[in-house]
């Protein structure tokens, strides 16, 4: 099982630079027609939208060494920059290559203060045994490989509005500084949607299944690749109905809500990754 998963991922990584044969992205959903999505919110955990102007070819843009998603059309291109929760407020810059020499494009990250949240969970998921720590370390390395995938942007990547993957009350807990059983841990890097175990989870946008597995913290997990470094993550699943390489249209079922991994109860943890950075999924949903 483990070997198969690694092997499948390896094939995906090798093939990640082009859209796979037979990969149909389908028609965009109604929400995707809104060119304002994702919304700009240039704060830690948010997204900067950087206008790049008109060019015949899609410009290449990077933050450090990490490639950025550039959306739009030859009439008007826009770079999307996912800003890490750990970023400092102030001046930042990306590198852009269009027709001429590479240039630096500055932008400003505004400050945002996130509140603290205290949670009680199973003690073995906070004070890890040596065995669980070793398992988590292997899984962390694997997850970093998944998060580094950058495939071709979707042909219709002009607007990237998403459909919520589960109907249910959405928490606004993205970015909260978390204290588990009295111990500070990483901030919350996704959106929690409360729903009973077994509730179907559907793809928010066309994409390809990049990875599935059962991980220590995330429990039953699915990663989708939407092209251009835009990935989505589904955690704590009770059932996984897809396998690596499957292509999904908006609304296709990928699994079911559960309470696996480190949780306080059944819910979907939904993550959205841009340029290897977890950003607030709410920015992709219609207001």
Which residue's CB is nearer to Zn ion, number 82 or number 153? 82
Q: Which of 192, 211, 225, 280 binds Zn ion (CB under 5 A)?
A: 192
Q: Which of 83, 269, 278, 282 binds Zn ion (CB under 5 A)?
A: 269
Q: Exposed, middle or buried, 38 (CB in 10 Å: 0-12/13-18/19+)? A: buried
Per rule CB under 5 A, is residue 158 in the interface with Zn ion? no
Q: Which tokens is 206 given?
A: 């066309």
Number of residues that bind Zn ion (CB under 5 A): 3
| Cα–Cα separations (whole angstroms), residue 244 to 90, 171, 221, 273 | 39, 29, 12, 18
Q: Determine how many CB atoms are found less than 10 A away from the CB of residue 140.
A: 12
Task: Give me the residue whose beta carbon is nearest to Zn ion.
Answer: 269
Q: Do the beta carbons of residue 50 and residue 81 sit within 8 Å?
A: yes
Q: Do the beta carbons of residue 107 and residue 61 sit within 8 Å?
A: no
Q: At its nearest, how many Å lie between Zn ion and the CB of residue 73?
A: 35
For 37-186, where are the alpha helices, taking DSSP H only?
A: 130-147
Interacting stretch for Zn ion, rule CB under 5 A, among 110-118, 123-131, 141-149, 268-276? 268-276
Q: At its nearest, how many Å lie between Zn ion and the CB of residue 215?
A: 13
Which residue's CB is nearer to Zn ion, number 117 or number 145? 117
Interacting stretch for Zn ion, rule CB under 5 A, among 85-93, 153-161, 223-231, 262-270? 262-270
Which residue's CB is nearer to Zn ion, number 208 or number 269? 269
CA pair distance 1, 3, nearest whole angstrom: 5
Which residue's CB is nearer to Zn ion, number 146 or number 268? 268
- Using CB under 5 A, list all residues that contact Zn ion: 190, 192, 269
């Amino acid at each position: 099982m483990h070997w198969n998963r690694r092997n499948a991922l390896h094939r995906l990584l090798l093939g990640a630079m082009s859209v796979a044969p037979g990969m149909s992205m389908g028609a965009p959903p109604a929400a995707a027609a809104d060119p304002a999505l994702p919304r700009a919110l240039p704060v830690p955990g948010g997204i900067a939208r950087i206008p790049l102007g008109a060019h015949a070819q899609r410009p290449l843009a990077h933050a450090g060494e990490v490639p950025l998603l550039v959306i739009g059309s030859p009439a008007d291109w826009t770079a999307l920059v996912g800003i890490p929760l750990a970023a400092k407020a102030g001046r930042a810059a990306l590198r852009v290559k269009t027709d001429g020499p590479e240039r630096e494009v500055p932008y400003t990250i505004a400050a945002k203060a996130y509140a603290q949240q205290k949670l009680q969970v199973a003690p073995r998921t906070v004070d890890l045994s040596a065995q669980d720590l070793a398992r988590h370390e292997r899984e962390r390395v694997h997850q970093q490989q998944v998060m580094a995938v950058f495939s071709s942007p979707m042909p219709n990547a002009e607007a990237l509005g998403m459909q919520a993957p589960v109907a249910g009350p959405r928490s606004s807990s993205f970015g909260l500084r978390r204290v588990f059983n009295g111990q500070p841990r990483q901030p919350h890097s996704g959106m929690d949607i409360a729903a009973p175990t077994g509730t179907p989870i559907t793809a928010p946008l066309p994409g390809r299944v990049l990875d599935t597995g059962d991980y220590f913290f995330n429990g039953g997990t699915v990663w989708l690749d939407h092209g251009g470094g835009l990935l989505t993550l589904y955690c704590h699943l009770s059932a996984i109905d897809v396998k690596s390489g499957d292509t999904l249209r908006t609304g296709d079922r990928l699994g079911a809500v559960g309470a696996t991994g480190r949780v306080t109860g059944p819910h979907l943890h939904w993550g959205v990754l841009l340029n290897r950075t977890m950003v607030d999924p709410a920015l992709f949903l219609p207001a």
